[in-house]
Amino acid sequence: MKLTTAGESHGKALVAIIEGLPSHLKIDVQKINRELSLRQSGFGRGGRQKIERDEAEILTGVRNGETLGSPVTLCIYNKDFSNWENCMSAAECDEIAMNAKKLTKVRPGHADLTGMVKYAQTDARNILERASARETAIRVAAGSVFKQYLEMLGVEIASYVKEVCGIKDTGRYEFNELAKAKTTGVGMIDLAAEKLAEEKIEQLKRNGDTAGGVVEIRVKGLKRGFGDVMTYDGKLDARLARGLMSIQAVKGVEFGMGFEVGGVSGKDVHDEIFYRDGAFYRETNRAGGIEGGMSNGEEIVVRVAMKPIPTLMKGLQTVDVETKATAVAASERSDVCAIFALTVIAEAVVAEILATVVRERLGGDTIAEVLERYERLL
């Protein structure tokens, strides 16, 4: 299983190619578009979401609603491209339009400055167009396909927001309660915490500031043994961490108890093992469903921390790379808080990684072969 994405934030389109899907997997485009709509939702989103109404088009690899076994290509056309075509053309651009959109007042916390130096650019737009979180739209579309693959095996993924800029949802929720988070503005389940978070976001908006937060992702139904203890790069938690850290603005990943394990002794960390009615089980899940780099059959529990968005309406101090003069960082059209969107994006990335490790272990040219092999696992 392999995912490749391409496209610029204000370019003509975003594209994804998925390799390795078995044949006869039914693909529901409406499910893909629902995920894309959710990604654009949430309290604190900015003006770009009012322009784009993301919908995916399947270009290759699917016929009559089923995969063929060949690479699947997905495409999302950027509606805003019509406003940028004269300076984002793949061929020749209008020099006046390019200069009007040129960005040299680089933003702290963004890829602007380092990318310009690395790629020998004089315009940060040649960096930010790809560094933009707009790229996650196509990953969400692909993630929905991976989710549909996993759902055939009975594997479910859900998430909710645990924290926004210091406001915490401290509830302890069963998996079937997590769906409530997609019906709220911020993505919390505790409505009192949700209200406080909305008030915090409004305050930050008035101050020209931004917010980050923490999202918890849970996976139910994955059997034990996925991932690898024999090679360091095959460990499931390592692969999930790598994938989640690739999301724009994510700065931390933890599993189960996470960093809490450093503050308590072993008896309060490790999950004791029991045996009853022909099966091993645990009464706790402090490990977060992964031991030795392999799924252990319990729910996978992973949290990601998102930094505040680096594009502030009240820009931070910086330098104009063209004149080298002190300047205020450019304020591109941006969100105040995109933590709700992160729940959707993180689920998509987790689905991609899990689909990949399932494919590696089970193989199968058809979805029927995959299902048969999964059912045979103890």
- pLDDT at 207 > cutoff 90: yes
Structure tokens of 146?
């991976």
| Main-chain dihedrals φ then ψ at residue 114, nearest 5 degrees | -60, -40
Structure tokens of 265?
């002794």
53: confidence class by pLDDT, cuts 50, 70, 90: confident
- What average pLDDT score do residues 124-149 get? 96
- What average pLDDT score do residues 207-233 get? 96
Q: How many helices (H) and strands (E) does the chain have?
A: 11, 17
pLDDT at 52: 64
- pLDDT at 50 > cutoff 90: no
Type of residue at 100: A
Alpha-carbon distance of 106 to 116, in angstroms, equals: 9
Q: In the beta sheet, which residues pair with residue 315?
A: none
The distance from CA 48 to its chain's CA centroid, rounded to whole angstroms, is 18
Residue-wise pLDDT for 298-326, tens only, equals 999 999 999 999 988 888 999 999 999 99
pTM for this entry: 0.95
25: confidence class by pLDDT, cuts 50, 70, 90: very high
**How far apart, in Å, are the Cα atoms of 75 and each of 50, 90, 127?**
20, 17, 21
- What average pLDDT score do residues 79-99 get? 88
Strand stretches in the chain, DSSP E: 2-6, 13-19, 57-60, 62-63, 66-67, 72-77, 156-164, 167-168, 213-220, 250-255, 273-276, 279-282, 290-291, 294-295, 300-306, 317-319, 326-328
Domains defined for the chain, CATH in brackets:
2-376 (3.60.150.10)
Q: What is the DSSP string of 261-299?
A: GGGS-GGGTS--EEEETTEEEES--TTTTEETTEE-SSP
CB 334 within 8 A of CB 132: no
Residue-wise pLDDT for 259-283, tens only, equals 999 999 999 999 999 999 998 999 9
- pLDDT at 49 > cutoff 80: no
Alpha-carbon distance of 26 to 148, in angstroms, equals: 8
